[in-house]
Structure formats: C-alpha cells, structure tokens
Amino acid sequence: FDRQEHVDAAVSFVLSYEEITGIAMVGDVTLVPMMLEAEGRRMPREDAERVLATAPDHSSPFISVPF
C-alpha cells in the first residue's frame, strides 16, 4: 500500500489479533514512517476490514495458491 489510510488499516488488522505481538517492517524508507504512524492510529478490526475492502488490487494472498 502507498496510502496512509490503507497502511493504517493493514497494521490495525494484523495487530488486532492478541496472539500477534509484532509486525515486520518493510525496507522501503517511504513506508517505514507510515507504518510507525499507523500504530498510533489503530482502529477496530471491523473498521480496518472496511477500509481494506476499498483498497485497489487488494486480495488475500491465499485465494490463488497454485496447489
């Protein structure tokens, strides 16, 4: 993602699961500050799902698994 609202939603979604205690940071220097900002803007999982549903070209990586 390259829009703050989508990064916020993605970080919120991942960190909404209590068994997840961290998230891997990207190496892209333009996204690092966005991810750090996103942690402070956390939203409920349901809100994050709604925002992610509006993200262009976003889908689960598990939908088209070539098995």
Residue 28 confidence class, pLDDT cut points 50, 70, 90: confident
Output the pLDDT for position 24: 87
Q: What is the mean pLDDT of residues 1-20?
A: 94
Output the pLDDT for position 62: 74
Residue 21 has pLDDT above 80, yes or no: yes
Percent of the chain with pLDDT over 70: 94
Torsion angles phi and psi, residue 53, rounded to 5: -65, -20
**Spatial separation of the C-alpha atoms in residues 29 and 50, rounded to whole Å:** 27
Output the pLDDT for position 7: 95
pTM of the entire predicted model: 0.82
Output the pLDDT for position 25: 83
DSSP annotation of 25 reads P
